[in-house]
Amino acid sequence: MKHKKIHIISWLTVNFGRLLLALVFLLSGFVKAVDPLGMSYKINDYLRSAGIFLSYDSFYTLAFAVGLGVFEFLLGVSLLLGIRRRLTITCTFLFVLVMTILTAYIYIYNPVDDCGCFGEAILLSHKETFIKNIILLLIVTYVAYKNQRIDRFITERNQWILSNYSFVYIFCLSLYSAHYLPILDFTDYSENTNIRAAVNSEEENSLKGFYLASYDGEEDETFRILSDTSYTFLLIVPEVETSDDGCNDRINDLYDFCVENHINFYGVISYSCESLADWQDRTGAAYPFLRGDEKQLRAMVRSNPGLVLLKNGILQEKWSNNNLPELESETKVIEHKKNLPLMQLLFWFVVPLLVIILLDNIWKGRKFIKLFFVNYFNKTNMRKKIVAGNWKMNLNLQDGVKLAQNLNEVLKNNKPNCDVVICTPFIHLASVYNEIDANVIGLGAENCADKASGAYTGEVSAEMVKSTGAQYVILGHSERRSYYHETAEILKEKTKLALANGLKVIFCIGEVLEERESGKQNEVVKAQLEGSLFDLTQEEFANIILAYEPVWAIGTGKTATAEQAEDMHAFIRKTIENHFGAEAANNVSILYGGSCKPSNAKEIFSKENVDGGLIGGAALNVEDFKGIIDAWN
Ligand code: PGA
């Protein structure tokens, strides 16, 4: 009971932490992706503080900004849905770690005004940012430690669809925002902002420093421009040298239109711009110029050049140089556009995502429906019931073939209620395969090499085993562990090779007498599982059958009691659940091995967590083996 409670609390904590991390990353990725230029300027500020001077229009910082937003957003999606859990949480951990170090540096040395974690959407002080990152680091460390407890909302098989869709979505959004303007504007100069009111306000605010000067820098033009009750276009050119001059004709037409219709039109350049003559020659710009602060100009419109329309000191509308307005009459200027497209943005992300998840669940549901019927009609669970024979080093080829023929005959006439497998010495495999009906008896080897192929005299590879027609292989048997010194590492290699060659692995684990007597059996078995199987993916693990064989019971006539077997099997299943999740634990068959006989099989197999047996001595005789198989009837 207590264990269950701890389990629920830890599940809740991990999933709450993972959700929180997901939201933070989704938000920070999204706000960066919708304003990549803003983030690019911020990166440039960082570089400048480190003595590296690039233009604010640098392609490299922009590419980095887009990459950063996309990366964070994808981490957010993966955390939210439980995609590639180990990789996701490792990347998240490393990312938060680097950010924590960076924000510690910013907190101490104060190189930039704002860290840019959440773009312009949420501005935090350096101290707040640092504390936020410390908290995130603690959470991500905990979640990383328990990453297998993260629930998935999509099956492993279909998760790539969500990752790819999210990537395409956020990448396109980011490119669109860089090419036109941010789809959502979190700057101080969003449309409908009353700049005049902000400048004149008594209270402190971020627009207070807004200032426009005459071209020669002598006169303050702020008040005149902001008080004009008719329309004023400002063509903002924060950096003349790097500004895009592909749209000059459109701008000049626009200026002509403004002159004809008595609409004000100014170019605004930064104070640092020394000479306009060259640029005017190149672009044919005939309009008058004002000056402003470069940072402020870049905040007003994320485009170089960009266009802003003011009236009464209120920012009416803005355009990037890639979609300048075509004006036919003054009234067209007044036509206002767009509601906030947030709902549309969300729609195009969330709805396809939900559809994919729904389809995935229907796909998964097929399995559940099947499971339900199997449970309902057979009154049994989905796990395969298996009785496997392990012939060990017994029987010559002729005797082995004869035994297989007899068993085949008996089982064909009397269909077993479980899967039956015989594992034979290597030299028997191909011959036995020809004698048995593969629908009735499965065939397996007792071992395979830990190398794929090559100069390993006397060894037999997993591929060779598979080529005989065998579908199974026993690995980790205690006799191989103790007499042939097979370590967890060797068994890990063997298992990987066997699985890679399409074999199902009957993996044996179990403690020796001393370990049982000193109460260490759980510890030993857990270490055996961890040492050889915990690197497998869930898909790989689906082809593992476990066999608990207490070494003190093998071939000794001493059987573990049914209760001892059940206790250990339940523990093994729990261990699997903790690592591979509930579905894997529920599906894995766990066999009992060690002096299993017709006389004790029924009782042992009746236990909830015992799914069959791995039979040594009693598998060498059809009658005994059949007696054990019949324990499932
Ligand atoms: P046993 O052997 O049934 O002879 O005890 C079981 C095994 O080693 O797999």
Segment 282-332, tens digit of pLDDT: 889 999 999 999 999 999 999 999 999 999 999 999 999 998 887 776 666
Question: What pLDDT score was predicted for residue 367?
Answer: 53
Overall residue count recorded for the chain in this entry: 633
In the structure, what pLDDT confidence band is assigned to residue 120 with cuts at 50, 70 and 90? confident
**Residue at 595: amino acid letter:** S
Which residues have C-beta atoms less than 6 Å from ligand 1? 390, 549, 554-555, 593-596, 614-618
Tens of pLDDT along 31-76?
999 999 999 999 999 999 889 999 999 999 999 999 999 999 999 9
Average pLDDT score over residue span 349-353: 92
> Probe ligand 1: pick from 391, 615, 629, max atoms within 8 Å of CB?
615
Among 477, 479, 515, 579, the one annotated catalytic: 477
* Assigned token pair, 563: 């209760």
Cβ neighbours for 338, distance < 8 A, ≥ 6 positions apart: none
Percent of the chain topping pLDDT 70: 94
Question: What pLDDT score was predicted for residue 12?
Answer: 87
For the chain, state the CA radius of gyration.
36
Average pLDDT score over residue span 416-445: 96
Measured between alpha carbons, how far is 170 from 73 in angstroms, rounded to an integer?
7
Respond yes or no on whether the N-terminal peptide bond of residue 305 is cis (omega within 30° of 0).
Answer: yes
Question: What pLDDT score was predicted for residue 379?
Answer: 37
Q: Is the pLDDT of residue 340 over 60?
A: no
Q: Is the pLDDT of residue 248 over 50?
A: yes
Average pLDDT score over residue span 265-278: 90
Burial of 537 (0-12, 13-18, 19+ CB in 10 A): exposed
- Indicate which residue's Cα is closest to atom 9 of ligand 1: 616
In the structure, what pLDDT confidence band is assigned to residue 360 with cuts at 50, 70 and 90? confident
Closest CA to 421 of 394, 441, 450: 441
Ligand 1 atom having least distance to the Cα of 593: 6
Closest CA to 18 of 149, 159, 160: 149
Residues 126, 132, 135, 139, CA torsion sign: negative
Measured between alpha carbons, how far is 573 from 35 in angstroms, rounded to an integer?
49
pTM over 0.75: no
Poorest-confidence range of 102-106, 249-253, 367-371, 422-426? 367-371
Between 190 and 361, the more confident residue is 190
Say if residues 187 and 38 touch (Cβ distance below 8 Å).
Answer: yes
Q: Is the pLDDT of residue 5 over 60?
A: yes
Question: What pLDDT score was predicted for residue 338?
Answer: 54
Cα 572 to Cα 3, 418, 575, 588, 589: the distances in Å are 15, 22, 5, 10, 11
In the structure, what pLDDT confidence band is assigned to residue 366 with cuts at 50, 70 and 90? low
Q: Quote the mean pLDDT of the chain.
A: 91
**Residue at 127: amino acid letter:** K
Tens of pLDDT along 590-606?
999 999 999 999 999 99
Measured between alpha carbons, how far is 192 from 300 in angstroms, rounded to an integer?
12
In the structure, what pLDDT confidence band is assigned to residue 170 with cuts at 50, 70 and 90? very high
Q: Is the pLDDT of residue 506 over 90?
A: yes
* CA distance from start to end of the chain: 34
Between 80 and 368, the more confident residue is 80
- Rounded to the nearest whole angstrom, what is the distance from the C-alpha of residue 618 to the centroid of ligand 1? 8
At residue 273, the 3 state secondary structure works out as coil
> Probe ligand 1: pick from 595, 600, 621, 625, max atoms within 8 Å of CB?
595
Q: Is the pLDDT of residue 341 over 90?
A: no
Among the residues of 82-220, which ranges form H helices?
Answer: 85-109, 126-145, 159-179, 195-200
Cβ neighbours for 50, distance < 8 A, ≥ 6 positions apart: 111
